[in-house]
Amino acid sequence: MLCKSIISAILVCCAADAWGVQRETFLRGIPMTCSFMDHAVLINGKETQILSGAIHYFRTMPEQWEDRLRKLKACGFNTVETYLAWHLHEETEGDFDFSGRLDFVRFIRTAQRLGLHVIVRPGPYICSECDLGGMPGWLLGKAGLRLRSNEPVFMHYAGRYLRRVLPLLKPLQCTQGGPIIAMQIENEYGGYGRDKEYLKALREVIRGEGINIPLFTSDGASSHELLNGSLPDVAAAVNFRDDPKKNIAVLAQTDTGYRNPFFAAELWVGKAWFWNMPPEHHAADPVADDIRTILRNKWHVNCYMFHGGTNFGFTSGANYVDGYYPLLTSYEVDALLDESGRITPKYEAVRKVMNSFGRGSTESMTDPVISVPSPFMLTEAVALGDCLNALSLPVICSTPETMEHFGQSFGFIHYSRRMKKRESGTWTLCGMKDRAVVLLDRKLHSVVMRGEKEPVISLKIPEDGTLLEILVENMGRVNVGYEMENERKGLVAVSNGSLRLMDWEVRCLPMKDLSKLKFSAGTPPAGPAFRRGWFRTERSSDLFLRFPKGTRGYVWVNGFNVGRYWTVGPQETLYLPAPLIKAGENEVIVFETDGLSSSELAFAPGRIIASLMDEETCRRMRKESMDGSRRAAVFRLASSEVTLDGTGSEAFWKDIPAIEVGTHCASGISSPVKATVKAAVSGRFLYLLAEMREPKMDRLRDVVTLRNGPVWNENCIEFFFDPENRRKDFRQLLVNSLGTVAEFRQEGGLEKPWTSQARAAVTRSADSWTAEVEIPLSAFGKVPKPGDIWGFNACRDRIVGGPRERLSWNPTFGEFGHPDRFGKLIFQ
């Protein structure tokens, strides 16, 4: 055993010395060689283990690159991987942009200065949950186009793009003294097609531009995908989540014609998050275990993502799996660094494993400062209809045309025409993608969403006619699969089956420049409008802006589009990077499609993703809850018309009578658990105080403690509002026993889905636990009043990555969940 330890230590030291020599070599700009040979990666002839983390330059500000890269290196990684974003570099056909956060040369040189190798994946397709998988939307307007194929139209534009970016990468290769050691051909092509001529054509373009470093392909960990997406003279790699042994074995057992390095080109350490879907969490320990396995076996890895960053502006994409699922503005994706670059428990867990293998460092890393300026008001406004000429020139078309027809990639497209009385009736918005806001005479009429069975509008036109306007938004093109070719945004017709409405005025609204907007004091009518205000801050620092109190829109800060908001959740804040913020006065412009209910905007002390709390915070709150240093935990869900400002104090509850709503026994505990509830209405909030008592708390705690991860709420308290003693207006409140989660659910009784927010505080004593909940009255169909009845019940609920599914009543609480056994809580 001692001999093995000594040998291991010598091998670690030798590896460290070899890496030190290589590092000094390419820091001085001395050319190096890199090759893939006999399942190994050789740099200057020495076997080197590639430990890489993904950071996308276009999802982070240039001023922040060095911070993220330093943290990557300190964690134990020797390489950074990045995609190139064609859809951003050539947002408008023929107009290339490599400035600011799109300056990938600066990003790569920064990595080299810090002693990091670089892997580049230039596309043309990258997926990465980007709009159209990172290909520009205007491509879809080209006749005869077939995406990701050796078809002449696609290869013309893809080849032109590659011949523009590859010369910028050529001098950055390790063979010319730069840090780039390898480059990928396409991305996960084996899950899309098997056009080998397409892959060969891309390889020839890359080699033709002087790229002489190793090339590779990467695909899902199945023999089918690996064989479809690889070339016999190019290395193949695998992408997967969990269980490296199994997935690397698939690569080893698949004969692609090359002696492939055992390389996980994407080890998925997190998960993408979608609007109107509960966010999933990939825990730290399994990720750390995977890294340990890879290190122990001397395999190679790229962690996707090390730092995700933000889908600024209109750039996030969507998935299509039995329906359309657009992605959040935040691209935090449960990575090792959070959206603002702060270290997470997952980072610490991976760093600990790296250090145990002689990687990484003990250097202290500093998290960015997050400030919370005072709330401010949006004091000026202009309705969209009043500023169309400042944003776009009109085009007259016989029938509606899509964004791509006009070469537009991002933003909105606006259609309008005068309607006559005889045109009253029901009209279908043909080909509508993704969200249409319909106005009659500048007044909001209806909203139509992609995925509805019939995207129709019913119009009743007055005698003198009316102006019909349809504002269609690109919410994100699908980023994977054959559905991408059908992602033209806007309308192709407005029809009633036998007749089409003709003669339209169309305006493209990419909203790149808002400087020509003319604002005035006041509030615009309901409907699409721009609102403007200013906030002051003492210094430049990261900020998290709470969503405006509306429905859906975008926010610009000092002229920069920081991204989408949508109050369906789960995201509730927009990240404002410090480089955008000035000491002093800062301009904020909000474009809201459906109308704001309040002009006030406020900031949060950190990002808010509903029903997901990072493990570090959970551990800290658990400790504070148990040692008594913290009695309340705050967690907002989705935006509402009210702002939470505190739960009731001890004095608040003093004179309110407690009502015993039931006694029952937990499994294996002979003495009954008594539950009491207090309730009161104060101002705009309903306050509840629930308490359970049991002398043998150690045993009961096993029953009531909630688990983190994919199961969010194992055991919970349920309340429902039932003024008529029937369950037609049922709502459920889930309260995490450690105070980390509070959530509502509507099961029926309202015409449309609603969202609300709550504050939960939980405390423990030697023989009891207490849950204190504050609920805004706007959550209810009617305000609770004296005599209204509430029920109290213990239940079991489970959420696993999708819609909530009721499993069963918790058997540890027996028959207490039967509807006719509810205790009654009478408001006094």
Q: Hey, which residues are catalytic here? A: 188, 266
Whether the Cβ atoms of residue 605 and residue 544 lie closer than 8 Å to each other = yes
The string over 788-824, giving b where at least 16 C-beta atoms fall within 10 Å of a residue's C-beta and e elsewhere, is bbbbbbbbbbebeeeebeeeebbebbeebbeeeebbe
Classified as helix, coil or strand, 622 is helix
| Identity at 284, one-letter amino acid code | A
Could you please report the per-residue DSSP string of 723-784? Answer: TTSSSTT-EEEEE-TTS--EEEEE-SSSSS------EEEEEE-SSEEEEEEEEEGGGSSS--
Whether the Cβ atoms of residue 291 and residue 352 lie closer than 8 Å to each other = no
The β-bridge relationship of strands 584-592 and 529-537 is: antiparallel
Alpha helices in 611-705 (DSSP H): 615-627, 650-654, 697-704
Q: Which of 563, 30, 10 is nearest to 275 (CA)?
A: 563
Detail the DSSP E strand segments found in 394-500.
395-397, 412-419, 425-430, 435-440, 443-449, 456-459, 466-473, 493-495
The residue count of the chain comes to 828
Instruction: Describe the crossing of helices 2-27 and 104-113 by its angle, rounded to 10 degrees.
Output: 130
The continuous run of DSSP H or E covering 152 comes out as helix 152-169
Question: Alpha-carbon torsion 13, 19, 24, 27, what sign?
Answer: negative
- Whether cis (ω within 30° of 0) applies to the bond prior to 124 is yes
Tell me how far apart the alpha carbons of residues 555 and 803 are, in angstroms, rounded to a whole number.
29
The β-bridge relationship of strands 560-566 and 600-601 is: unpaired
294 Cα distance to chain centroid: 28
Q: Which of 329, 327, 344, 238 is nearest to 283 (CA)?
A: 344
Report the 10 Å Cβ neighbour count for 191. Answer: 17
Q: Which of 56, 178, 174, 48 is nearest to 126 (CA)?
A: 56
Q: Which of 319, 302, 262 is nearest to 116 (CA)?
A: 302
Tell me how far apart the alpha carbons of residues 536 and 532 are, in angstroms, rounded to a whole number.
14
How far are the Cα atoms of 124, 420, 422, 445, 480 from residue 464, in angstroms, in the given order? 52, 7, 11, 18, 48
Take residue 538 and report the two structure tokens written for it. 């003492």
Listed in sequence order, the residues at least 6 apart from 500 whose beta carbon sits closer than 8 Å to its beta carbon are 399, 493, 494
